[in-house]
Amino acid sequence: MTAITKMTSVETKLFLRDPSAPLIVVCLPLILLLVFGMMPGIREPSADFGGKSGLSVFIAPMAVAILLTMLALTIFPGAMATYREKGVLRRLSASPVPPRQLLLAQLLVNLGSAIVVVALILGVGKLALGMDLPRNFGGFALTLVLGTAALFSVGMLIAAVAPTGRAANGIGSVTFFPMLALGGVWVPKEQLPVFLRHVADVLPLGATFNTLRETWAGNSPQLLPLLSLVVFTAVCGLLAAKFFRWE
């Protein structure tokens, strides 16, 4: 087995051994889906949601967006910052395998979890709640890819600068909640004041969430959010690469 394969396998085991992370990652989105999905009328087509059900064009995208953001902004940076704090990255620097391989392994584990849970959301939604699957599946997949890239780039920037695991979790949480509000998750963007509607389409969480809403309903993604995701990926990615400390 190559070093990276072995490393990813070890990181997967460590991720699953943590009492809280896998539970939260799997359960929170599914609980959101099920609890909101059983609200009266949410599964019926509604004028509020352009003739589609609230479940498929709002609740399910919300579950997906929250899942991705949780992994990208708190779990992933928390793990990397903790490794730095403990000297794990430094110890790797003294070995033949550079610490960036551990970064890669962590990304793979988190992306793997994202794929599994998105599949669960789609599966449980359809089977338990009769939810519609994303009508514009291609657009949906594209949004997932770009949104994940943008959110994980922000996460990498957090991981680059946070001094400890705790700090990383803190920064992640502090970033998470405003992004939820400004992204049109608590309050759908249609009901936000006009000037905030554009913000909702531009910040990574909002851009991802609102485009997931569009593609789930069968529409094409809008250009502005997609562009914003690409820009965030590039800028945060570059900054992270410049500032990342291995010790």
Partner 1 sequence: MPVIEVQGLHKRYGDKVAVDDISFDVERGEIFGVLGPNGAGKTTTVECLEGLRKPDRGRLSVLGLDPRHETAELRQRLGVQLQESRLPDKIRVIEALDLYASFYREPADIEKLLGLLGLAEKRDTPYKKLSGGQKQRLSIALALIGSPEIAILDELTTGLDPQARRDTWELIENVRDQGVTIVLVTHFMEEAERLCDRIAVIDAGRIVAIDTPAGLVAGVDNEQRIRFRPSAPLEDAQFTALREVRRVEHHGPQVVITGSGNVLQAVASVLARNQIIAGDLRVDQASLDDAFVALTGKKLD
> Is residue 245 close enough to count as binding partner 1 by CB under 8 A?
no
Angle between helices 223-243 and 137-161 (to 10 degrees): 30
Q: Least distance in Å: CB of 144 to partner 1? A: 29
Beta bridge partners of 46: 52
Select 86 or 245, whichever has its Cβ closest to partner 1: 86
Site for partner 1 in 150-189 (CB under 8 A): none
- Using CB under 8 A as the binding criterion, the count of chain residues that bind partner 1 stands at 22
Site for partner 1 in 3-32 (CB under 8 A): 3, 6-7, 10, 13-14, 17-18
Q: Least distance in Å: CB of 104 to partner 1? A: 15
Select 94 or 223, whichever has its Cβ closest to partner 1: 94
Angle between helices 76-86 and 100-129 (to 10 degrees): 150
d(CA 89, CA 72): 19
Select 3 or 115, whichever has its Cβ closest to partner 1: 3
Q: Least distance in Å: CB of 212 to partner 1? A: 33
Looking from the CA of 47 toward its CB, the CA atoms found within 13 Å total 0
Beta bridge partners of 53: 45
> Who contacts 182 (Cβ-Cβ below 8 Å, separation ≥6)?
196, 199, 200, 203, 206
Q: Least distance in Å: CB of 24 to partner 1? A: 17
Select 7 or 68, whichever has its Cβ closest to partner 1: 7
Q: Least distance in Å: CB of 17 to partner 1? A: 4
Angle between helices 165-182 and 137-161 (to 10 degrees): 140
Taking Cα atoms as reference points, which of 114, 115, 133, 136 lies closest to residue 214?
Answer: 136
Read out DSSP for 76-113?
A: HHHHHHHHHHHTHHHHHHTSSS-THHHHHHHHHHHHHH
Select 2 or 242, whichever has its Cβ closest to partner 1: 2
Site for partner 1 in 72-111 (CB under 8 A): 82-83, 86-88, 90-91, 93-97
Select 51 or 87, whichever has its Cβ closest to partner 1: 87
- Residues near partner 1 (CB under 8 A) are 1-3, 6-7, 10, 13-14, 17-18, 82-83, 86-88, 90-91, 93-97
